[in-house]
Structure 1
Amino acid sequence: MTTTISAPGGLKRLTTAFGGAILALFLAAFGALMTPAAAHADADTLQYSGDNSTWGDMSQIPDFQGELIPGGELTTTFWAKNPTSQGGTLQVYLGNWTKTAPDMQAYVRVEINDASGDIVDLTNNLATPGTELKATHVGPGQTAKVMLVVGMPADAGNESQNQSVSPDFALDFELDAEAVATTTTLTGPATATTTTSFELTATVAPAGATGTVQFKDNGVNIGNAVPLTDGVAKRTQILAAPGAHSITAVYNGADGFIASTSEVLTVTVTATPVEPGTGSAGSSSGSLGDLGSIFGS
């Protein structure tokens, strides 16, 4: 006894159920119906990956794997990434699902970041299209691991044999409410030496912004992110490599605040000159202590 998951056009592929006008109409209808005051983004705003490495549109979502038999489950796992500067809630819904036999036994559930949502029974038309299966908050640049599951109870009878079900899973991405834009300003010296420490100061506006700031040198992180204190993050730094350094401060965003990046601060670093010794080999004016101070010991 086997049961297949079918999609429009006979393609047994999840992206058919997700993509195109069907999804757009579904999201528009349920977005307006369920949370009229919330800001919704198209699910295509997110990026998708089947291996958490290669990113693209929904075509990256893999096929279902497994065999739908009594006590078995079909699954597909993918990652969704928020590439925007604003956080939001990723929601997975049951779509306008169909099956070929009214008394066929089947259920669906969703796991996000390895945490499972409730099992929703598709037997005897008990499930309502638009039922939220699982949701999670995805901050700017963050990812969520999603597994879609279609299962059959272990005690499923012969009425389920050779039937098909299409859960028509759908996604929505609800932007954080009242999130405000921020600006990040970076200050520091224009010049430094390879042995002199200096201070970088990032100021995030408006007042009340929380979270962390990541300082970067030519796009590479300088240490760990620094928490904001009264809208300010500071870092004391030594740049050991001579030359021009393009320093930026990246505010990572927080609930209610959108991430932002400062303009580039160019710090030109020069090598610290080595001062000549004051004594000579034949002179009694030099000492071991003097030599130690010259060589930094």
Structure 2
Amino acid sequence: MTTTISAPGGLKRLTTAFGGAILALFLAAFGALVMPTAAHADPASLQYSADNSTWGDMSLIPDFQGELIPGGELTTTFYAKNTTSQGGTLQVYLGNWTKSAPDMQAYVRVEVNDASGAIVDLTNNLAAPGTELQSTHLSPGQTAKVMLVVGMPATAGNESQNQSVNPDFALDFELDAAAVATTTTLTGPATANSTTAFELTATVAPAGATGTVQFKDNGASIGNPVPLTNGVAKRTQILTTAGAHSITAVYNGADGFIASTSEVLTVTVTTTPVEPGTGSAGSSSGSLGDLGSIFGS
């Protein structure tokens, strides 16, 4: 099926839009126009909707309606949902479009989530099939609003009368690179004093992992997530409650890396006062000296 959009033939009709149904919109599974270099999923594996409520295949994408006039645009809007288990990029391309006359003035553009791509001019057959019009990343379960637009410049003249254009659009869904499993290793002291700071170190493998690590004490977050630097995240901490603390480091994952959690590190906290050093009262490491000399004998 193709979508043929006609231009009115008389100047007196240039301000008149006709609501007759046009042939159904055709969205081809992209792939024949270029040689893909990454993993691709059949766009038919996604779900589509005209109202973001009722979902199904591409047959739910609304048709274009009306006729082009100078300065006017025709649009059709639909929603695409990633129902796969992997994230990817939804890309909208110019398909194998045709016009009834080379000098007919027309253009296409695509809006995704209300952000418009560049206007692509179809005049003089200069726009190549496979030109990307707009794209967006979709995580598993995420939805994008897509509006396809075909328009005619306000300067269009007699060369565009009684002509027609089949804009033809194509979809591609390029899968993200497969995420890599990670391991998180947590190191720190086995014992600590309630008044003394100690260091926790989380190391995430493989090398090159990015993102953050959340340290936890008995399941509760300790402060904010700590960014990884060369695969390592460190936190200096004081635990004021006596007893055994179950410390874990949770790597939150990132693009290309799967989240992971360390084994439990048990830190036993005591409240025993820190023993003072030896020496005179005037020394930072000294004792209190002879209390009797303060009050006299």
The two structures have a TM-score, normalised by structure 1, of 0.56
Q: Corresponding residue for 2:200? A: none
| 1:138-163 CA distance string (max 9 Å, x none) | 11110111000000000101111121
Structure 2: stretches of 5+ with no match in the other structure: 7-20, 184-203, 214-224, 229-251, 260-297
Maintained 8 Å contact 2:93/2:130: yes
| 1:24-48 CA distance string (max 9 Å, x none) | 4xx222352xx42x11111112110
The residue identity in structure 1 corresponding to 2:164 is: S
Q: Corresponding residue for 1:51? A: 51
The question of 1:29 aligning with 2:32 is answered yes
Counting aligned pairs with the same residue, the percent is 77
Cα distance change on mapping 1:179 and 1:101 into 2, 3 Å: same
The equivalent position to 2:24 in structure 1, one of 13, 37, 47, is: 13
The residue identity in structure 2 corresponding to 1:29 is: A
Within 2, Cα distance between the matches of 1:85 and 1:258?
Answer: 14
Shift of 1:111: 0.3
Q: Corresponding residue for 2:101? A: 101
The residue identity in structure 2 corresponding to 1:91 is: Q
Q: Corresponding residue for 2:293? A: none
The question of 1:127 aligning with 2:127 is answered yes
Q: Corresponding residue for 1:173? A: 173
The question of 1:111 aligning with 2:122 is answered no
How many aligned residue pairs are there?
192
Structure 1: stretches of 5+ with no match in the other structure: 184-204, 213-226, 231-251, 260-297
Maintained 8 Å contact 2:5/2:22: no
Alignment of 1:207-286 (within 5 A): 255-257=255-257
The residue identity in structure 1 corresponding to 2:33 is: F
Maintained 8 Å contact 1:85/1:258: no
Mark the structure with the bigger radius of gyration.
2
Maintained 8 Å contact 2:92/2:172: yes
Within 2, Cα distance between the matches of 1:42 and 1:153?
Answer: 34
Within 2, Cα distance between the matches of 1:139 and 1:228?
Answer: 24
Q: Corresponding residue for 1:146? A: 146
Maintained 8 Å contact 1:66/1:75: no
The two structures have a TM-score, normalised by structure 2, of 0.56
Q: Corresponding residue for 1:83? A: 83
The residue identity in structure 1 corresponding to 2:161 is: Q
Maintained 8 Å contact 1:50/1:60: yes
Cα distance change on mapping 1:209 and 1:98 into 2, 3 Å: same
Maintained 8 Å contact 1:140/1:253: no
More helix by share: 1
Shift of 1:5: 1.9
Shift of 1:65: 3.5
Within 1, Cα distance between the matches of 2:66 and 2:253?
Answer: 40
Maintained 8 Å contact 2:49/2:61: yes
Q: Corresponding residue for 1:195? A: none
What is the aligned-residue RMSD (CA, Å)? 3.4
Q: Corresponding residue for 2:18? A: none
Within 1, Cα distance between the matches of 2:205 and 2:83?
Answer: 23
Within 2, Cα distance between the matches of 1:40 and 1:31?
Answer: 12
